Homo-oligomer: A and B are copies of this chain.
């Protein structure tokens, strides 16, 4: 982590050999996106396509397009409906049409301006348009600190989340913390769940820092956010650098996601926010770990942490347990007849297990439906 003087922002490099790229984090960065493009040697001869959603677009698209045009880029834009439902093949096809209509070619760049939904969708467009073009992320949610590192891009299938996708690293990430001021509170909390996750899997002191700064983070204090986002990105980058394609280590990033993804699928995409689902999932994992004798005290700690961030700690009682179990079996983490769980052994330490008996998972789900808060 250091400062980039030409951009005037904190800079973190994601080290991936020839696919390494910078993440810049700072206030007011989108007005400097033109300069950032030049620093990354993005050619001006081919059209740029900015993909955004209909909540973010009206606020920031004009500024981004103008800053790019100012330094000589020709910019087209495409706006999709806000929300998880836009991570579909239908909306993906519309984006490809927009790229064609804009005259995008193999040297074009796709820019994702928005949260994780726009990032995953536009990233899949960049990964597949003409078999892959340049990709730049301009995240506008807290959650997107997670989705903008690691190169996983995808859309959903009605039966399973993120099932259609690719690995496609961005050329750079430009994180303008001032855009976060307009983020709705529920999305703030959802995004902070992934930030906390990075502490829980890797760095006990960062988890403690999150707990101590819950109030500032929830109030979107820019200094606290900048530190938390840098820390979260740095942890994810460290993991991904060691295992870009998720052969082993990278799987630890899935803490809370085995149960979380299943809950999202059962809820119907969009009802339960991603961060909310994994908050519940992280509590579930901690309880499983304790029941299996792998850890002590982690469940209580995890639950307290989630509560201090106003995140849900229970599964809505009307969700069907068997449907949740079935959804786990359509997940990418399920293979050769077993599903994978990331279980904590202590705060800041996790283990990957493929031997959790399904009966135990069922019990934990029932338990999570019984108690806790659900807004």
Q: Which residues of A contact B (CB under 8 A)?
A: 43, 45-46, 89, 92-93, 96-97, 100, 103, 105-107, 127-132, 152, 154, 157, 159-160, 163-167, 329-330, 332, 334-337
Contacts and interface: CB of A to CB of B under 8 A. Distances in A.
A341 to B, nearest CB: 16
Given A100-B163, A100-B330, A105-B336, 4 more contacts: A43-B336, A46-B336, A96-B163, A128-B165
Contacts of A100: 157, 159-160, 163, 330
Copies of this polypeptide in the complex: 2
B332 A157 contact: no
Most buried by B among A89, A131, A152: A131
A225 B163 CA distance: 40
A45 to B, nearest CB: 4
B46 A166 contact: no
A107 B336 contact: yes
Contacts of A160: 100
A129 B89 contact: no
B131 A152 contact: yes
Contact of A166 (B106, B128, B329): B128
A152 B132 CA distance: 11
Given A131-B167, A336-B45, A93 B89 contact: yes
A337 B45 contact: yes
A126 to B, nearest CB: 12
Nearest to A90: B89
Query: Which are the 4 A-B pairs with shortest beta-carbon distances?
Result: A105-B335, A45-B336, A130-B332, A131-B165
A164 B128 contact: yes
A96 B127 contact: no
Contacts of A106: 332, 335
B163 A129 contact: yes
B334 A105 contact: yes
B335 A107 contact: yes
A334 B160 CA distance: 36
Nearest to A332: B130
A106 to B, nearest CB: 5
A332 B132 CA distance: 11
22 contacts: A43-B336, A45-B335, A46-B336, A89-B89, A89-B92, A93-B157, A96-B157, A96-B163, A97-B157, A100-B159, A100-B160, A103-B329, A105-B336, A106-B332, A106-B335, A107-B336, A128-B128, A130-B332, A131-B165, A131-B166, A131-B167, A132-B166
A127 B128 CA distance: 10
Contacts of A130: 163, 165, 332
A360 B310 CA distance: 68
Nearest to A159: B100
B166 A335 contact: no
A46 B337 CA distance: 8
A327 to B, nearest CB: 11
B103 A131 contact: no
Contact of A97 (B96, B97, B159, B165): B159
A330 B93 CA distance: 16
Contacts of A330: 100
A157 B165 CA distance: 18
A165 B166 CA distance: 11
A128 B334 CA distance: 17
B337 A164 contact: no
